[in-house]
A = this chain, B = another copy of it.
Amino acid sequence: MFKPLISALAQFTAATAGRNMTKAAYVAVTVGVLSMVLLTDNRARGARGWVDSLLWTCLAYFVFEWLVRLRHMRQQGRLSLYVSSSAGIVDAIGALAVPAALLLGVDPRTAWLLGVLWVLKVIPGIPGLRQLRRVLVLESGPLVSVLVIFLTVVFLASVAEYFLERDVQPQTFGSVPAALWWAVVTLTTTGYGDAVPVTPLGRMVAAAVMISGLGVFGLWTGILATGFAAETRRDNFLKTWESVSKVPFFAALGPAAIADVTHMLRTMELPARTMIIRKGAQGDCMYFIAAGEVEVELPGKKVQLGEGAFFGEMALLGNNKRGANVSTTKVSRLLVLDLVDFRVLMARHPDLAETIDAEARRRALENK
């Protein structure tokens, strides 16, 4: 009964062995983790058989996917690279953790808990992850400083509270580890309320710890916000640079001006048949086509614009409303020029302004 399913999986997986995550894998992770969660819930005991078979199916899929990838990588001579990469390790864990636990005689209900590790497969597919990691790496110095300060405050506060509260509440503050628990819960402003100082001095120390908690929050956020702002600028510049130099419209500019223009543009990747501009909507940006093709729905005819063309400038020059629907016909990469930057650019480069003006006039004439 599983044979046709497996053969279909094999084809599908083989076709996408090089990619990080297929749609099938997303489905398998979702189904697998949900089944694992249901397995622990007594209310779902009736459906135990279904849940079990779902789990085994997911596991089979992950083992299968892993084997296909191993084979694919060996054929390409990148086996050792794959095995030692983080994706390879996550794939191996996803395929082997549960079976290994079952073979070692762990109780099945506990062994299947390892299925939660399947969620790790999702992480490499997160779009902004590289950006976040770069921020954390570049700002690791100050972040570690804040962490050390955090831990120092936790240690000093917990010893102080242990000293002040141990006689009054031997249950909750009877040892420094117990007081450490209180300190972490308090300094992160979580505040469960399972351990609360009651002596006046203990409460004063606690108040100081809570206010320090705000400070730790603030420093932490400040560091990350600073790093993130720098990283966003960098990321956008990199994505846009390549495309800009390929648009003939900008080719006349010198390299310094291109760097300048790049800072103003934003790259947008669009699938085929996506509406970009809706007739009658407010217009606040214009577009350059770096790759792909768009179709403008003029009254009575449709006009195609290819790589290097621009559109959407008329709403910026004259009336604010968009004059026609525009949508992509292929997968396209567009460069977006915001209204603000449009004006600054036109002011700095009068020759570009003239080119756009001339084209807009030509189009306006044609449309009449």
Q: Is residue A284 contacting chain B, with contact meaning CB distance below 8 A?
A: yes
Q: Given A162-B113, A218-B223, A238-B340, answer yes or no on A37-B176 (Cβ-Cβ < 8 Å).
A: yes
Q: Given A33-B155, A126-B148, A229-B229, answer yes or no on A213-B188 (Cβ-Cβ < 8 Å).
A: yes
Instruction: For A226, give its contact among B225, B259, B284, B340 (CB under 8 Å).
Output: B225
Instruction: Give the contact-size bracket for chain A.
Output: 35 or more
Q: Please choose the segment from A54-62, A127-135, A322-330 that sits at the chain B interface, where 4 or more of its residues have CB less than 8 A away.
A: A127-135
Q: Is residue A14 contacting chain B, with contact meaning CB distance below 8 A?
A: no
Q: Is residue A250 contacting chain B, with contact meaning CB distance below 8 A?
A: no
Contacts of A156 in B (CB 8 A): 116-117, 119
Q: A258 and B347: CB pair below 8 A? A: yes
> Could you tell me the distance in whole angstroms from the C-beta of A313 to the nearest C-beta in chain B?
16
Instruction: For A222, give its contact among B129, B193, B224, B259 (CB under 8 Å).
Output: B224
C-alpha spacing A189/B213, complex, angstroms = 10
Copies of chain A in the complex: 4
C-alpha spacing A179/B67, complex, angstroms = 33
Instruction: For A163, give its contact among B42, B110, B177 (CB under 8 Å).
Output: B110
C-alpha spacing A226/B63, complex, angstroms = 42
Chain B residue nearest to A157 in the complex (CB): B116
Interface residues in A177-230 by Cβ distance below 8 A to B read 177, 180-181, 184-186, 188-194, 196, 200, 203, 207, 210-211, 213-229
